[in-house]
Copies of this chain bind each other. A is one copy, B any other.
Amino acid sequence: GTGADNDLYINQAVVFIEDAIQYRSINHRVDSKSLWLYRWYYSRTWQWILSLTITIILALAFVEEPSSLTVTSDVRYRLPAWNPPCGLTEGIELLCFLVFLLDVSVKSYLIGWKEFWKNKWLMAYIMTLIVSLTDWIVSLSFFCRESVRIRRILRPFFLLQNSSMMKKTLKSINSTLPEMASVVLLLAVHLSLFTMFAMLLFARTKDNQQDKEWVVYFRNLPDSLTSLLVLLTTANNPDVMIPAYSKNRAYSIFFILFTVLGNLFLMNLLTAIIYNQFRGYLLKSVQSSLFRRRLGIRAAFEVLSSLRETPPNAQQFYVSAGAIEQVLQKVEMDSRCKQAIMRSLKICSCDQLSAAQFQKLFEELDKDAIMHHPPSPEYQSHFMQKMQFAFGHPYFGYLGNVVALANIVSICVVLVLDADKQPSERDDFFLGAINCFFILYYLLEMLLKILAMGLRRYLSYPSNRFDGLLTVILLILEIATFAEYGFPHPGWRPEFMGLLSLWDMVRLVNMLIVFRFLRIIPNMKFMALVVTTLLDLVKNLRAFAGILVVVFYAFAITGIMLFKGAVVPLGNTSAANTTHNNATLQCGTYEQLEYWPNNFDDFAGENVISWCSAHFQAEFTTYLFSVNLICRWAKIYFVAWWLISSVIWVNLFVALLLENFIHKWDRRCQRESLSDIEYQGTVELMFRDVLEEPTEEELMEKLHQHPHLQLCR
């Protein structure tokens, strides 16, 4: 019937506009039931459940055997960790898999059968689920005693497939790979030629005292390659050349030449290539988001224009204002935006809207929300007005900064004075008394500001919220301290014990005071710029960070599987034997360096290792390669990790930072005059001036390609 049809059209329009708001693709089923399912699928609840499930399944690695639930990861001191009984984590895992199964079937249904076969991500999703479930069954049938669990490595895939940004980023990283491979090849050629040179230069000689270089670094091909690879990261920079340099100054030329060519030129060339590839990346992605938004709105217009109530007009299509209002009521969107659109619909006061008018109506979505701070209270009393003027003035804020600085300096002075004192010699009276006064000042400052600005205006500034929260916490801590230990007096010994020792309380207060000092940031122009750039960057980096997490996770799990138990404490448990003599150990080995906590026995520890090895460092390299003695594959594993994390990912990060910063900087210069308006800066806004609006033809062509929507024209 017509009514049902109209309802369907309205619902379609609602969903299309929601798609536009969220920059989603509109290529999904559009019948009534599917629309209901679609809205449910993209409802906050389901998306939240999905995110929670992904978080849980990823976090399982910390709890699963080998669990990370020990205070230390040092093999010498570590107590046996609590391991969950067989079936507990597996049960949780099964629940997660069920959620994913539901997710994948709804998703597949919604995009339709035809599209499904074209969508490699969905296929991979299903494959991953099948493999994981099989592995899970194998695991249970062995009563969790099987050694290899493939499904643990596959887990990050669930994170990857859930984010369209990450998939897009992965695609563009993929397109950079050929060029990166060229530079890596160049690096390999550089490395191998220099290795041959080195082996010829530092060959074994008759004189045993002369060939230290050979013994330590260039004994054979793998050793030489390793030495120079590590030199490429400048990790063993002076060490590797010391024996040769000690023999003859001229040998230093070889090493300097190698480092200049490899580290300075080729490594930075990699940065240049990656930056060059990613230069347009942000712009392109914002452009395609814009296209999706325009397309969604246009689709909504098209379905609304086929509503029966519209008078059939062969030339131009129109949409009635009533239908729009009906749709807007149903759309879930930011209430501020919705009101603005309603208002402009009323102002327009036309009964029929053309496609262009309809698009214009929704331009409100692209506009930056200008923050309006609530007004200050208006006091009648003359005295109160003066107070308000005094304490609402920026100078009062500056005074607060100066006082915070004074507090920091006083803490610093006490720290320097107390640095070498035995804990028993310490007296917290001075610091306690001073901090008490400062915290009272902070409280006073907060209250006066609230008085001057009114509570709502005070809270509308993020810096005030930060400030106020810390002040309240400090006050609570201080009151707790006084309640427990009385007021500061000479001989207020830090070893008084309560819930926490007085010493810990004072330290905590001091740390919070140091942290509170960050409130100066918005007052310094350049710092504010840098910090907002960094915050923006963090938003744009989510996709990259996600991919890093995926790689990190896979590497960490592989590391545990390969090298679990590779680091074994020396001889009989030397945990108690803390006085053991360092001199009996050879320098540079991990025993001497006490790298005991760095082992491959649990997930958290493995993560820290990966973090450390991303910054290839001299001693740590030695450590990594002494693991090599235990397992030959460790070397390849770590070189691969270094290439991916340090070389490629760090360069990607630099490229993105450059891109972001340069745009931001240019924009700042343009908007210097408008600086007192706070923008809720989004990437879209950053590129406002350079974005191209999609043309009518492009939109209509795309609409006609829609797999489920039949347009009447």
**A residues at B contact (CB < 8 Å):** 68, 70-74, 77, 179, 182-183, 186, 189, 193, 196-197, 199-201, 203-206, 209, 219-221, 234-239, 242-243, 245-249, 252, 256, 259, 263-265, 268-269, 271-273, 275-276, 279, 408, 411-412, 415-416, 419-424, 495, 507, 510-511, 514, 517-518, 526-527, 530, 533-534, 537, 578, 582-584, 586-588, 592-598, 604-605, 608, 611-612, 615, 617-620, 623, 650, 653-654, 657-658, 661-662, 665
| Contact A611-B249, Cβ < 8 Å, known A264-B653, A662-B272, A665-B276 | no
Chain B: CB-nearest residue to A416: B221
Shortest C-beta distance, A55 to chain B (Å), equals 18
Chain B minimum-CB-distance residue to A650: B264
Complex CA distance for A514 and B201, rounded to whole angstroms: 12
Check if A271 sits within 8 Å of B619, measured CB to CB.
no
CB atoms of B246 and A72 under 8 A apart: yes
Given contacts A72-B249, A587-B588, A594-B246, are A268 and B200 in contact (CB under 8 A)?
no
A200–B507 contact, CB under 8 A?
yes
List B contacts of A597 (CB < 8 A): 242, 245-246
A204 to B503, CA, bound (A): 11
Cα–Cα distance between A231 and B197 once the two chains are bound (Å): 34
A507: chain B residues within 8 A (beta carbon) = 200-201, 203
Contact of A196 among B193, B203, B415, B533 (CB under 8 A): B415
User: How far is A73 from B583 in the complex, measured between Cα atoms in Å?
Assistant: 29
A423 touches B221 (CB 8 A): no
CA distance A276 to B663 in the complex (A): 10
Residue in contact with A587 in the complex, picked from B219, B275, B592, B654, CB distance below 8 Å: B592
**Closest CB of chain B to A270's CB: distance in Å?**
10
Q: Which residue of B lies closest to A597 (CB)?
A: B246
Interfacial chain B residues near A578, Cβ < 8 Å: 209
- Contact B530 A186, beta carbon cutoff 8 Å: yes
Sorted nearest first, the 5 A-B pairs with minimum C-beta distance are A272-B661, A234-B615, A587-B587, A238-B612, A618-B618
Contacts of A518 in B (CB 8 A): 193
26 contacts between A and B (CB under 8 A): A71-B247, A72-B247, A73-B249, A193-B518, A196-B408, A206-B495, A220-B420, A221-B412, A235-B617, A235-B618, A239-B617, A239-B619, A239-B620, A242-B595, A249-B604, A252-B608, A252-B611, A256-B611, A271-B654, A272-B657, A273-B661, A276-B661, A279-B662, A583-B583, A587-B592, A618-B618
A265 partner, pick from B74, B242, B534, B612, beta carbons under 8 A? B534
Which of B183, B209, B510 is close to A200, meaning CB atoms less than 8 Å apart?
B510
Q: Closest CB-CB distance, A673 to chain B, in whole Å? A: 20
Chain B residue numbers with a CB within 8 Å of A657 are 265, 268-269, 271-272
**Which residues on the B side are within 8 Å of A595 (C-beta)?**
238, 242
Which chain B residue lies CB-closest to A514? B196
Q: A71-B247, A256-B611 are in contact. List 17 more A-B contacts (CB 8 A).
A: A71-B248, A72-B245, A72-B246, A200-B415, A200-B514, A220-B420, A234-B615, A238-B612, A238-B620, A238-B623, A245-B597, A249-B604, A249-B608, A264-B650, A269-B533, A271-B658, A272-B662
Tell me, in angstroms, the Cα distance from A618 to B619 when the chains sit together: 7
Q: Known contacts being A268-B657, A611-B256, A661-B276, is A421 close to B604, with CB within 8 Å?
A: no
- On whether the beta carbons of B268 and A199 are closer than 8 Å, the reply is no
Q: Decide yes or no: A193 and B517 within 8 Å by CB, A246-B597, A620-B237 being known contacts.
A: yes
- Copies of this chain present in the complex amount to 2
Cross-chain contact of A653 among B220, B237, B268, B411 (Cβ < 8 A):
B268
B238-A68 in contact (CB<8A)? no
Least Cβ distance of A530 to chain B in Å? 6
Q: Are B246 and A596 in contact (CB under 8 A)?
A: yes
Question: How far, in angstroms, from A569 to B193 measured CA to CA in the complex?
Answer: 37
Which chain B residues border A238 with CB–CB below 8 Å? 595, 598, 612, 617, 619-620, 623
- Docked Cα-Cα span, A286 to B68, in Å, equals 60
B237 touches A205 (CB 8 A): no
Measured CA separation A362–B74 after assembly (Å): 76
- Across the interface, name the chain B residue whose C-beta is closest to A264: B653
- Chain B residues in 8 Å Cβ range of A256: 608, 611
* A408 vs chain B, min Cβ distance (A): 7
The answer to whether A420 and B219 touch across the interface, beta carbons within 8 angstroms, is yes
Interface centre among A182, A249, A252, A275, by most chain B C-beta atoms within 10 angstroms, is A249
Instruction: Say yes or no: A654-B268 contact (C-beta < 8 A), given A246-B594, A412-B196, A594-B246.
Output: yes
CB distance from A192 to the nearest CB of B (A): 8
The verdict on A259 contacting B615 (CB below 8 Å), with A249-B68, A526-B182, A530-B186 known, is yes
Q: Find out whether the CB atom of A593 lies under 8 angstroms from the CB atom of B242.
A: yes
B residues less than 8 Å from A197 (CB atoms): 511, 514
What separation, in Å, do the CA atoms of A497 and B153 have in the docked complex?
61
**Complex: how many Å from CA A88 to CA B266?**
44
Q: Please, which residues of chain B bring their CB within 8 A of the CB of A74?
A: 246
- Nearest to A582 among chain B residues (CB) is B587
* Closest Cβ neighbor of A279 among chain B residues: B662
